[in-house]
């Protein structure tokens, strides 16, 4: 079993839709959870970062963490064509521990 599992996609939605991206993990030591967005031929860029269980909102993006279920989600409201990218979940247990990434979900928002 992989430490981090991510819905493979690809996901295609119409502009304005609500998008839900999900990851599960098996390592209960993970404490820090991140979502990265990666455009084609670019490096990943940090989108959301959270430590605790619950929701964290930033504009149209909401990150949700449920440590009891080992499940994290990223919601995108009012999706835009510019949101078309691959979304990677990432997590680690803090300190010098490595950051482990999911395989990524490719999202396409159709105008």
Partner 1 sequence: EAGVAQSPRYKIIEKRQSVAFWCNPISGHATLYWYQQILGQGPKLLIQFQNNGVVDDSQLPKDRFSAERLKGVDSTLKIQPAKLEDSAVYLCASRWDSRDEKLFFGSGTQLSVL
Contact predicate 105/9, CB 8 Å: yes
Minimum CB distance to partner 1, residue 44 (Å): 5
100 exposure class (CB count in 10 Å sphere: 0-12, 13-18, 19+): middle
Q: Is 53 in the site for partner 1 (CB under 8 A)?
A: no
Q: Is 24 in the site for partner 1 (CB under 8 A)?
A: no
How far is the C-alpha of 88 from the C-alpha of 99, rounded, in Å? Answer: 12
In the complex with partner 1, the residue whose CB is nearer, 21 or 36, is 36
Is residue 10 reached through a cis peptide bond, with omega within 30 degrees of 0 on the bond before it? yes
Minimum CB distance to partner 1, residue 92 (Å): 7
Residues that bind partner 1 (CB under 8 A): 4, 6, 32, 34, 36, 41-46, 49, 51, 88, 90, 92, 94-96, 98-104
């Amino acid at each position: 079993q992989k430490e981090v599992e991510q819905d493979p996609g690809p996901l295609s939605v119409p502009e304005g839709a609500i998008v839900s991206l999900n990851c599960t993990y098996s390592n209960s030591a993970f404490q820090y959870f991140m979502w990265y967005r990666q455009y084609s031929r670019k490096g990943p860029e940090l989108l959301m970062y959270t430590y605790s269980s619950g929701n964290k909102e930033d504009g149209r993006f909401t990150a949700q963490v449920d440590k009891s279920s080992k499940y994290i989600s990223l919601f995108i409201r009012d999706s835009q064509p510019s949101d078309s990218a691959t979304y990677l979940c990432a997590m680690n247990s803090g300190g010098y521990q490595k950051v482990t990434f999911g395989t990524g979900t490719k999202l396409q928002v159709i105008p």
